[in-house]
Homo-oligomer: A and B are copies of this chain.
Amino acid sequence: MKKWISPALLIITFLLSALGHFLGWNFTLQFILSAISVIFVAGFLGKATESVAHYAGQRLGGFLNATFGNAAELIIAILLVQQGLFDMVKASITGSIIGNLLLVLGLSLFAGGLKFKVQKYNVSLAGLNGSLMVLGIIALFIPAVFLNTHSITESDTKFLSLVVAGILIFAYLAWLLFSMVTHKNYLADVSHKDEELPHEHGPQWSKGRSILYLVIATVMVALVSEWLVGVLEPVSEEYGLSELFVGAFVVAIVGNAAEHSAAIMLAMKNKIGAAVEIAVGSSLQIALFVAPVLVFVSYFSGNTMDIVFTTIELVAIGVAVFIAKSITQDGETNWYEGLMLLAVYVILGVSFYLV
């Protein structure tokens, strides 16, 4: 592919998608245009992230990518919370967590595993990631159990939700302190040194330009995602899909397009540490930061959203955490492990589709 094609297609599809949105074209056409556009802006974001990751190190790069990727989701979710659409918010949080842990991680391990027999990354990080996942699922699980067994009242549940949300945000900030400051080297990429040497091709862009492109790409992804999400309801109605399925699968897949492309690209370059950081880090960020922030946003908006998910949402998140933890905890990955994650994703997808 010639060098100029990609930027051209990026801009053309973005403008077409924008035109479709602002001129109010046919919904299905808008959907198709923005879906095509999202592929290119996500690719652009993936490239920018990779370039920044080159300067910042795999883990910080992965963290940046996860954060920029989730920024779009956070903004969309805040809009939904302020409209009181709590079920839609929870469905998309569910979808985002399982989408990252099963689809993004699964595709990364699978694609990376086809090129490299075994890919390794820091086993201490793998263990801590696993424990953080467990913390996240426990925090979502406890209020639901206490409410469903009638152990506490509904109004107490809102108070408990705020407490749990506060603890999760505190735990997330402490995690940043731990992983970026006090134990940075402890969690460093195993193969860091080896990979530095055989630099097939250095980064395309300078440090400053990489950061600028990262910001621009994130904004573009956020815009296109929003246009796409905007037409999801009429389109899903037309094709007879349930709100839960759309929230948990369609929105989540589209909203995580950036993470998808970046993680897979990195995995195929044997930077599996960064790929895992994007996929797992992104889902942790949603469980430990985005979801709790939404609880507080709803509280300050005067209509507190509790943190109680439905049974099938909890089961979906629970099984995703359980298998992702089982697969990642040894710090070694291969194509079959990716396949197992994808198998669980398909099973969940079909189940939610049938609801």
* Interfacial residues, chain A to chain B (CB-CB below 8 A): 117-118, 123-124, 127-128, 130-132, 134-135, 138-139, 141-143, 145-146, 149, 151-152, 156, 159-160, 163-164, 167-168, 170-171, 174-175, 178, 182-183, 186, 311-312, 315, 319, 322-323, 325-327, 329-330, 332, 334-337, 339-340, 343-344, 346-348, 350-351, 354-355
A151 proximity list for chain B (CB < 8 A):
312, 351, 355
Q: Are B159 and A354 in contact (CB under 8 A)?
A: yes
Listed by A's residue number, 24 A-B pairs whose Cβ atoms lie within 8 Å are A118-B186, A128-B337, A131-B323, A131-B337, A134-B322, A135-B343, A141-B319, A142-B315, A142-B348, A145-B312, A145-B315, A146-B351, A146-B354, A160-B350, A160-B351, A164-B347, A167-B343, A167-B346, A168-B343, A170-B343, A174-B339, A178-B334, A178-B335, A325-B326
Q: Are A146 and B186 in contact (CB under 8 A)?
A: no
Copies of this subunit? 3
Chain A binding site: helix, strand, loop or mixed by DSSP?
Answer: helix
Q: Are A183 and B142 in contact (CB under 8 A)?
A: no
Residue among A128, A141, A168 having the largest count of chain B Cβ atoms under 10 Å: A128
A167 proximity list for chain B (CB < 8 A):
343, 346-347
